[in-house]
Structure 1
Amino acid sequence: MKASRLLHLVLLLQTRQRITTSELAERLEVSRRTVLRDVEALSTAGVPVYAERGRGGGIVLLPGARLDVSHLDPPELEALSVAGLDSEQRERLGLSTAWESTERKIAARRAAAPEPPAPSSLAELVLVDSSAWFSVPGTAVDVADLASALRHRRSLRIRYRRSAESRASTRVVDPYGIVAKSGRWYLVADDQGDGRLLALERLSWFEELDAPVELAPGETLRTRWAVLKGRTERQDRVSVTVRLRENRLDLARRILGTRIHDVSDAEADWCSVVIRYPDVESVRQLLQFGDHIEVLSPETARERIGQLARDLAERHTAPAP
């Protein structure tokens, strides 16, 4: 812990060269006395840093001193390799500390560059948040534990509940790895030779087996994911045409995403939208648009949404039990 703190102190000084003891103590979350002891330890080790007393004083790194401390350690490289994850996902994988250290080193390296900095860096202008809207991601198993187990490249015995099942079943799978997609985690694995996407919120338990993992020849996590992702997105076999109020179109794009296939003008304040679903039953998703939507075709989809609406109306006519 102390080595990490000393490195952080040096990185801060490389970006500023002079920082007050109080500010360093606040940034490092230690006392001012601890900061002074750390400075003394660095100075004894040959680092050109010292405490300057008096008005305008503070902790100073000698001008022109540049320490090559920006090389990334293996954990930091690992954190950088999954840079698309959000803070909660990194925390669950145990990479938060390594990520913070990586960011500090990158900032120090940027500050040490001889070229003048650009007016605005991409880090100031682009923010990536891969978490899903309106959701609180949760998994029954610990993602970090699962990721650690996957490193051993062994088969897993898991307890998993399919989406259409009420109870979980036990099976043995050969895992390729895990994928974070739109705020949800998936285990990519072969189940008796067939590729599967297993949602982690429905994975209640796992254990490593002694048998080494047996993967399809030439397949990797990325190639298997690409096939399974494409298969999932091509399951849209039913095209449903609806009338939707124009002031709900942006909300529909956010909720339905790539399921929206086409949008065209229909009449004043309304638009025509074609939505692709894997089956007619999926039109129940459209109930959330209430009286802002009308299903036009196919007739089976219109009948199903009508039946669902009648069931809801009947259920809410009588007083709640």
Structure 2
Amino acid sequence: MKASRLLHLLLLLQTRQRITTGELAERLEVSRRTVLRDVEALSAAGVPVYAERGRNGGIVLLPGARLNASHLDPPELEALSVAGLDSAQLERVGLSAVGESATRKIAARQVTTPEDPNPLRLAKVVLVDSTAWFAEPASAIDISDLASALRHRRRMRIRYRSSAEEQATTRVVDPYGLVAKFGRWYLVADHRGHGRLFALERLQAYELLDAPVVLRSGETLRRWETLKQHAERQDRVSITFRLPTNRLDLAKRILGTRLREVSDVDQGFCTAVVGYPDLESVRQLLQFGDHIEILTPEAARTRIRQLAEELVRRHSAPLS
């Protein structure tokens, strides 16, 4: 424990160079006396650190003293290997604490130049937030526990409800791993020899089986890329619609990669094409309200009209 605390103290000093004894005691969750003993231990080991007395005193690390930041612990290396995750997602996979530790070590290696001896770190000006807007998908599964179970490379029996099903069913899968995509988590696995994505919010339970996982030759978690492309290319129905140009940015945000082309931008309106896996997906366009007009195919115009009529019927009579 002491070795870890000494390393933490040194990392804090490399980031700030001068810190009060009280702040160090609070950050390390020890007494001030313990901080002073730790400083003495570091100094005895040849680290140029000392306690400075007086009103503006504190614990000081001489400029130029640097710890080799390549000395990361295995858990910290794991945290960096999934660096695309934001703080909330790191918390869900149980890597929040080691992620912070690795970040401190990286901060201690801040790059300086003669022209700018005290630049801001990139992390101060770039923030990655992988969660979706207005979305907080619920999952009964502890992602950290599931990730740990996947390390054993065993087959799994899962209870899963597909989006088109009302009840969950049991199936045996050969898992590759987990993927975080825009705030949602997916289990990537083979089911009956075919790659599948299982959304964790619809995964109700899982258990490891005694049998080892059986994966197809050459397949890895990178199979996700193939599955993702397949899901994004399920555009069997093309729907052409017209909407005001000042709603085009909203359409791009809502429809994403399904919005395939935009044309005929004239007099405040434009024509666009969206691809869907089936006609019923036209329901998504109801989000645009009276700003949108479906042009083709006729079946999509008919379905939108039916949905609008149903909404009118439901809202015509007062609630009882």
Output the TM-score relative to the length of structure 2.
Answer: 0.92
Q: Offset at 1:218?
A: 1.0
2:181 maps to 1:181: yes
Distance 1:140 1:231 in 2: 27
Q: Offset at 1:2?
A: 5.1
Instruction: Check whether the contact 1:174–1:190 (CA below 8 A) recurs between aligned residues.
Output: yes
| 1:309 counterpart residue number | 308
Q: Offset at 1:130?
A: 1.5
Instruction: Check whether the contact 2:66–2:108 (CA below 8 A) recurs between aligned residues.
Output: no
Matching residue's letter, 1:318: A
Give me the identity figure in percent: 73
Cα displacement string for residues 120-173 of structure 1 (whole angstroms, at most 9, x for unaligned residues) = 654344322221122113222111111000000000000000110000000100
Matching residue's letter, 2:6: L
Distance 1:28 1:246 in 2: 56
Distance 2:315 2:298 in 1: 26
| 1:276 counterpart residue number | 275
| 2:251 counterpart residue number | 252
* Correspondence list, 1:154-193, <5 A: 154-193=154-193
* Correspondence list, 1:1-321, <5 A: 3-28=3-28, 32-43=32-43, 47-68=47-68, 70-110=70-110, 122-222=122-222, 224-321=223-320
Q: Offset at 1:247?
A: 1.8
- Go from structure 1 to structure 2 and tell me whether the alpha carbon gap of 1:294 and 1:112 turns closer, same or farther (over 3 Å shift): closer
Cα displacement string for residues 204-234 of structure 1 (whole angstroms, at most 9, x for unaligned residues) = 0000001000000111110x21221121111
Instruction: Check whether the contact 1:155–1:175 (CA below 8 A) recurs between aligned residues.
Output: yes
For 1:109, what is the secondary structure of its paired residue? coil
Instruction: Check whether the contact 2:110–2:121 (CA below 8 A) recurs between aligned residues.
Output: no
Please list every run of 5 or more consecutive structure 2 residues that lacks an aligned counterpart in the other structure: none
Instruction: Check whether the contact 1:86–1:129 (CA below 8 A) recurs between aligned residues.
Output: yes
RMSD, aligned α-carbons: 2.3
- Go from structure 1 to structure 2 and tell me whether the alpha carbon gap of 1:230 and 1:68 turns closer, same or farther (over 3 Å shift): closer
Matching residue's letter, 1:98: V
Q: Offset at 1:192?
A: 1.1
Instruction: Check whether the contact 1:158–1:203 (CA below 8 A) recurs between aligned residues.
Output: yes
Cα displacement string for residues 168-213 of structure 1 (whole angstroms, at most 9, x for unaligned residues) = 0001000011111111111110111111111111000000001000
Distance 1:67 1:266 in 2: 59
Q: Offset at 1:72?
A: 1.1
Distance 1:121 1:57 in 2: 26
For 1:102, what is the secondary structure of its paired residue? helix
Q: Offset at 1:107?
A: 1.2
Matching residue's letter, 1:132: A
Distance 1:288 1:31 in 2: 58
Distance 1:97 1:126 in 2: 21
Distance 1:128 1:65 in 2: 31
Aligned residues: 320
Distance 1:122 1:100 in 2: 16
Matching residue's letter, 1:172: V
Instruction: Check whether the contact 1:157–1:206 (CA below 8 A) recurs between aligned residues.
Output: yes
Which has the larger displacement, 17-26 or 210-219? 17-26
Instruction: Check whether the contact 1:66–1:112 (CA below 8 A) recurs between aligned residues.
Output: no
- Go from structure 1 to structure 2 and tell me whether the alpha carbon gap of 1:294 and 1:64 turns closer, same or farther (over 3 Å shift): closer
